[in-house]
């Protein structure tokens, strides 16, 4: 019988990374908190991540009891005999799970470390105390843990998105598959993968798209979404919007990446999708809005100048960030039209995004991660 590995993921982006890792290590028995791609890869499910995925304090309150129940289920699974715990980001939940694993003498790996360089630096000692190997995806992260390298092994592997992002359709094929008239130009709308994000951001994006359409009637808007969000997305879109298509992976493999590739411009909720779009290389706006309380507390905790990963990596605002009150239909429409009408501005962003991709290093992060985990379980 193969070694048993518990893997804990709390966000859709983490599901993407974790599923690819699992596929590279089929010799182990995988169990955990899973997303759709992990379930497809054969991970035995203790709980679905969709039921615990939240961002912000007020947004987490309605799910508090379910998150607590899920945590107890995960700890109970650790007691059944687990050889290794792998956690992916989602620090509020996963740091406590690492502690429980350590109490039980279970080896631990933090894959996709939390962004403590941005906020929550107070978590560093706890991460170091309860993690055997921290797998870093940004070159500057090892420096953050420099005071703890005597007890924490930090391995920089590069960014897994460089392995994961694939597109295969031409623009003509894409339009045919999605059902967009040949003469139309594609514009992407990405309202996020969490219910709270979609409810907050999609209505704003839809109103912005209506304003954009007044100036650019040639545009057709595409909203890639996950199967669990499809119903919600469709319920928010007005019935008279024939210029909008909701796209899921059932219709097109890698539907989000294909849409980023073929969109002349996109409006994207802050998160991993902004880094994915940077790697693909077409210009976009970054938007985000949370409750005033969540934003206020976030501002107190955050120690960086930008929210978006592309801007953090670039060290300057290369992608316009429209946050909170600036995340409104008129501002989104105005900035989108500005980029679409100014060729120099548009090309400059393309060049800046190419530099961000270059800074992420080369491919092979997932293979390197798989080798580290294999070595840890075989005692190498």
| Residues 52, 101: Cα–Cα separation, whole Å | 20
CATH 3.40.50.2000 residue spans of the chain: 4-158+364-377, 171-359
Task: Give yes or no for a contact between 224 and 250, defined as CB atoms under 8 angstroms apart.
Answer: no
d(CA 341, CA 164): 32
Length of the chain, in residues: 380
Residue 174 Cα to chain centre, angstroms: 24
Bridge partner residues of 48 (DSSP): 34
Cβ atoms 94, 8 nearer than 8 A:
yes
| R_g of the chain computed on alpha carbons | 21
Spatial distance between the Cα atoms of 92 and 63, rounded to a whole number of angstroms: 13
Phi, psi torsion values for 44, nearest 5 degrees:
-70, 130
> CATH second-level architecture of 171-359?
3-Layer(aba) Sandwich (3.40)
Task: Give dist(CA 311, CA 216) in Å, integer.
Answer: 28
Which residues are within 8 A (CB) of 144 and not within 5 positions of it... i.e. 6 or more apart? 116, 117, 124
Quote the tokens at residue 339. Answer: 């980029």
Rounded to whole angstroms, the Cα distance separating 360 from 140 reads: 11
Per-residue pLDDT of the chain (380 residues; tens, 9 = 90+): 689 999 999 988 899 999 999 999 999 999 999 999 999 999 999 999 887 775 555 555 667 788 899 999 999 999 999 999 999 988 989 999 999 999 999 999 999 988 887 666 889 999 999 999 999 998 888 889 999 999 999 999 999 999 999 999 999 999 999 999 999 999 999 999 889 899 999 999 999 999 999 999 999 999 999 888 999 999 999 999 999 999 999 999 999 999 999 999 999 999 999 999 999 999 999 999 987 776 665 665 565 688 899 999 999 999 999 999 999 999 999 999 999 999 999 999 999 999 999 999 889 999 999 999 999 998 75
Provide the whole-model pTM.
0.85
First to last CA, the chain: 20
Q: CB-hemisphere CA count at 13 Å for 269?
A: 24
* CATH 3.40.50.2000 applies to domain 4-158+364-377: yes
| Distance (Å, whole) CA 341 – CA 266 | 14
């Amino acid at each position: 019988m193969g070694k048993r590995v518990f893997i804990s993921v709390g966000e859709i982006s983490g599901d993407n990374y974790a599923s690819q890792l699992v596929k590279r290590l089929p010799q182990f028995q995988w169990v955990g908190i899973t997303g759709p791609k992990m379930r497809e890869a054969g991970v035995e499910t203790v709980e679905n991540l969709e039921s615990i995925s939240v961002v912000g304090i007020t947004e987490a309150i309605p799910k508090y009891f379910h998150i607590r129940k899920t945590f107890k289920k995960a700890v109970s699974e650790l007691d059944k005999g687990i050889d290794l715990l792998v956690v992916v980001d989602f620090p509020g939940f996963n740091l406590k799970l690492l502690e429980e694993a350590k109490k039980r003498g279970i080896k631990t790996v933090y894959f996709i470390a939390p962004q403590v360089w941005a906020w929550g630096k107070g978590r560093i000692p706890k991460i170091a105390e309860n993690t055997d190997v921290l797998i870093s995806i940004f070159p500057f992260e090892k420096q953050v843990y420099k005071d703890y390298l005597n007890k924490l092994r930090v391995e920089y592997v590069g960014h897994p998105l460089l392995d994961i992002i694939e597109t295969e359709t031409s623009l003509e094929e894409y339009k045919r598959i999605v059902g967009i008239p040949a003469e139309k130009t594609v514009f992407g709308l990405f309202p996020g993968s969490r219910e709270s994000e979609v409810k907050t951001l999609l209505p704003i994006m839809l109103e912005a798209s209506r304003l954009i359409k007044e100036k650019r009637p040639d545009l057709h808007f595409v909203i890639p979404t996950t199967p669990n969000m499809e119903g919600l997305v469709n319920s928010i879109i007005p019935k008279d919007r024939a210029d909008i298509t909701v796209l899921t992976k059932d219709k097109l493999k890698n539907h989000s990446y294909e849409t980023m590739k073929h969109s002349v411009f996109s409006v994207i909720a802050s998160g991993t999708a902004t880094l994915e779009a940077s790697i693909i290389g077409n210009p976009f706006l970054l938007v985000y809005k949370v409750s005033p309380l969540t934003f206020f507390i976030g501002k107190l905790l955050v120690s960086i100048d930008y929210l978006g990963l592309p801007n953090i990596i670039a060290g300057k605002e290369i992608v316009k960030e429209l946050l909170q009150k600036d995340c409104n239909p008129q501002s989104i429409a105005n900035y989108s039209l500005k980029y679409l009408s100014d060729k120099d501005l548009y090309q400059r962003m393309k060049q800046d995004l190419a530099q961000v991709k270059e800074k992420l290093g080369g491919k092979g992060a997932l293979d390197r991660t798989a080798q580290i985990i294999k070595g840890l379980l075989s005692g190498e």
